[in-house]
Amino acid sequence: MSKTMTDMEYLKEILESQNLADDSAELKRLMEQRKDVERILRDAFPDCSPTIRYGGSKAKGTLIKEAYDLDLACYFPHDDETAGSSLEDIYNNVAKALEKEYSVLRKRSALRLRDKDEVDFRIDVVPGRFTDDKKQDCYLHQEAGDKKWLKTNLDVHITHVRDSERLDAIRLLKLWKTRKALGVKQFAFELLIIKLLEGSRKSLPDQLKHVWTELRDRDEPVPVEDPANPAGNDLADLLNTQVWSELSSVAADTLLTLDANGWEAVFGKVPTDSGKTASLLAAAASVSVRTKPWCG
Amino acid sequence: MRNSQEAISADLRELERTIRERYPDLRLVIENGRPAFRGSFPIVHDSHELDRFLVDISFPEGIKRLPIIREIGGRIPRTTARHTFVGGGICTEVPELTLLREDYSLLSYLGGPVRNYFIGQSLVEQGKPWPFGEWDHGKEGLLQAYGDVLGVTGELVIRRYLDYLGHKKVKGHWLCPCGSGNQIRQCHLAIVRRLQEVVPPRIARQALERLNKYS
């Protein structure tokens, strides 16, 4: 961070460095994978034409380079049972279809795709079933928790986040969460950020400080509601006391770091991709103790 | 006198302070009573951040011993070709070579072999070779690495040298590890003496044990 750069300018540069252009290698790879996933699903369920569409950070505008992934909703018509009669059947049958070509990690409602060497393709497939012909609300199976299903609405989620006017704060806090390897689910974290910043007219640096201060100072988790189903979906488990405690202690540390050493101590040097290979080679050339990897 | 629990906590606190000063995103987590550092490991060169890898650093043999480091971002294939174990453990180098360095500490390990390893992974992703080469896998790699340190070749010779270096004293009438059949005092005693200054008996025995796992 140069001496003439303001906090706002620095944070904007960090945000800029986390952009993924549509023609970036990373997104191109994701798009190719998406085609494959869609082909597998359409081949596996040829008679019920599932609706396959983007959800997650790509649709919401919260994508960052260090934690980019693709949520692919795969929703089946409400009156079709060829993919499974129950939500759990649908979840399992979609998983089985994907397992023919991927290693599938079964998450709460999503299926994470990896290759046989455990490389993460950064794609979550979310199977579900529309509640009716309007194809808006949807039921999802839940692997964890007391309730085995939930009702949700992708468009409501996307709109809630995308139109929150907090995208910069969300993206920077997502970067913070990623780098600190915090366990909080991104879905709940985004809702929490929006709630904590409700009505705020603070600058971006102050928004971040405000969120960390709230996380640090509140003893109990702040309850958040699923905008797609406020009364029906209990998100308390996603922000339980354990998750909150972790967020709280790391936020406290971050505020101390910020006070003592400024923003660059929190988000580091602005990452650069230009001339990356040459810079890596230069970094290697300047190493004093050269070591070679081995595998036992 | 402080009890051992307090002593461990004080050591850990000191380690945490040291690590966070250099790597602010690596945070201490205690799970099931066991400490680990977890977070993003940056590659910085000339004040430029070139890349980052998400890691988990655990200490199955205690915080003063070599840790196990796993890449947890799902970025590096879990294959021997990319020098990772199933589960994500990274193989930075032959462990005994790390331990031979006088200034071994977690900080020096992270700034040396670990940083080199991730620079290598980042380059390999871009189709470049490992910047300093790589040892073969398994026993062959161990023999290459130990042979490199000892300045000898051949499994039997390397084993004999390690065996001798594993003793506190080497007697002059012993047969030379080079295999000449001469007494060591009439053959490679000077080299063995020099190696004794470089390779402590504990590390020589550890190296031999590691080789024996492949027998």
**Cβ separation B24–A283 shorter than 8 A:** no
pLDDT(A1) > 90 = no
Q: Which pairs count as long-range contacts for A234-240, CB under 8 Å and 24+ apart, including other chains? A: A234/A147, A235/A188, A235/A191, A237/A144, A237/A145, A238/A184, A238/A185, A238/A187, A238/A188, A239/A184, A239/A188, A239/A192
Q: How many domains does chain A have?
A: 1
Option in A114, A269, A280 nearest B119 (CB): A280
Option in B46, B74, B91 nearest A293 (CB): B91
Per the structure, the complete domain to which residue A140 belongs is given by 9-267
Segment A70-85 mean pLDDT: 93
Q: Which residues of A touch B137 (CB under 8 A)?
A: 294-296
Q: How confident is the model at residue A282 (pLDDT cuts 50, 70, 90)?
A: very high
Interface test with A, best of B25, B41, B93, B134 (most A CBs within 10 A): B25
Burial (CB count within 10 angstroms: exposed 0-12, middle 13-18, buried 19+), residue A116: exposed
Q: What CA dihedral angle connects A55, A58, A59 and A63, to 10 degrees? A: 120
The Cα–Cα gap between B113 and A89 comes to 48
Query: What percent of chain A shows pLDDT beyond 90?
Result: 76
Using a CB–CB cut-off of 8 Å, the residues of A that contact B are: 66, 114-115, 117-120, 122, 178-181, 250, 253, 257, 265-266, 268-272, 276-277, 279-287, 289-296
pLDDT(A275) > 60 = yes
Option in B46, B88, B134 nearest A292 (CB): B134
- The whole-angstrom distance between B157's CA and the closest CA on chain A is 21
Query: What percent of chain A shows pLDDT beyond 70?
Result: 99
Task: Copy the structure tokens of residue B40.
Answer: 């993003």
- The whole-angstrom distance between A284's CA and the closest CA on chain B is 6
For B29, the closest chain A residue by CA position comes to A246
Angle between helices A167-179 and A186-196 (to 10 degrees): 130
Asked whether residue A279 is assigned to any structural domain, the reply reads no
**Cβ separation A282–B45 shorter than 8 A:** yes
In sequence order, the 6+-apart residues with CB closer than 8 A to the CB of B194 are none
**Cβ separation B84–A295 shorter than 8 A:** yes
Burial (CB count within 10 angstroms: exposed 0-12, middle 13-18, buried 19+), residue B211: middle
Tell me if A5 sits within 8 A of A263, measured CB to CB. Answer: no
For A175, the closest chain B residue by CA position comes to B40
**Cβ separation B85–A268 shorter than 8 A:** no
Residue A3: predicted pLDDT: 67
The Cα–Cα gap between A251 and A184 comes to 13
Q: Which residues of B touch A291 (CB under 8 A)?
A: 92-93, 97-98, 112-113, 116-117, 132
The Cα–Cα gap between A184 and A247 comes to 8
Q: Beta strand A70-76 with A103-106: parallel, antiparallel or unpaired?
A: unpaired
Q: How confident is the model at residue A2 (pLDDT cuts 50, 70, 90)?
A: low
Q: Beta strand B27-31 with A149-153: parallel, antiparallel or unpaired?
A: unpaired
Q: Which residues of A touch B72 (CB under 8 A)?
A: 181
The Cα–Cα gap between A180 and A247 comes to 10
For B93, the closest chain A residue by CA position comes to A293
Interface test with A, best of B49, B91, B126 (most A CBs within 10 A): B49
What interface predicted TM-score (ipTM) does this complex get?
0.88
| ∠ CA A157-A162-A168, rounded to 5° | 130
In this prediction the pTM is 0.89
Give, for A261, the enclosing helix (H) or strand (E): helix A241-261
* Nearest one of A97, A132, A94 to A110, comparing CA atoms: A94
The pLDDT tens digits of the residues spanning A152-181 come to 999 999 999 999 999 999 999 999 999 999
**Mean pLDDT, consecutive 10-residue segments, chain B of 215 residues?**
54 94 94 94 93 96 92 91 87 92 87 97 96 95 95 95 94 94 94 92 95 90
Please state which architecture CATH assigns to domain B4-125: Roll (3.10)
Domain(s) of CATH 3.10.110: residues in chain B:
4-125
pLDDT(A221) > 50 = yes
The Cα–Cα gap between B76 and B122 comes to 9
Tell me if B45 sits within 8 A of A283, measured CB to CB. Answer: yes
Residue A206: predicted pLDDT: 98
Interface test with A, best of B117, B132, B209 (most A CBs within 10 A): B132
Q: What is the CATH number of the domain that holds A183?
A: 1.10.1410.40
Residue A294: predicted pLDDT: 94
Q: Which residues of B touch A295 (CB under 8 A)?
A: 80, 83-85, 91, 137-138, 141
**Cβ separation A293–B135 shorter than 8 A:** yes
Asked whether residue A34 is assigned to any structural domain, the reply reads yes
* Nearest one of A209, A217, A178 to A193, comparing CA atoms: A209
**Cβ separation B50–A290 shorter than 8 A:** no
Residue B104: predicted pLDDT: 81
In sequence order, the 6+-apart residues with CB closer than 8 A to the CB of A236 are A221, A223
**Cβ separation B116–A291 shorter than 8 A:** yes
Tell me if A151 sits within 8 A of B104, measured CB to CB. Answer: no
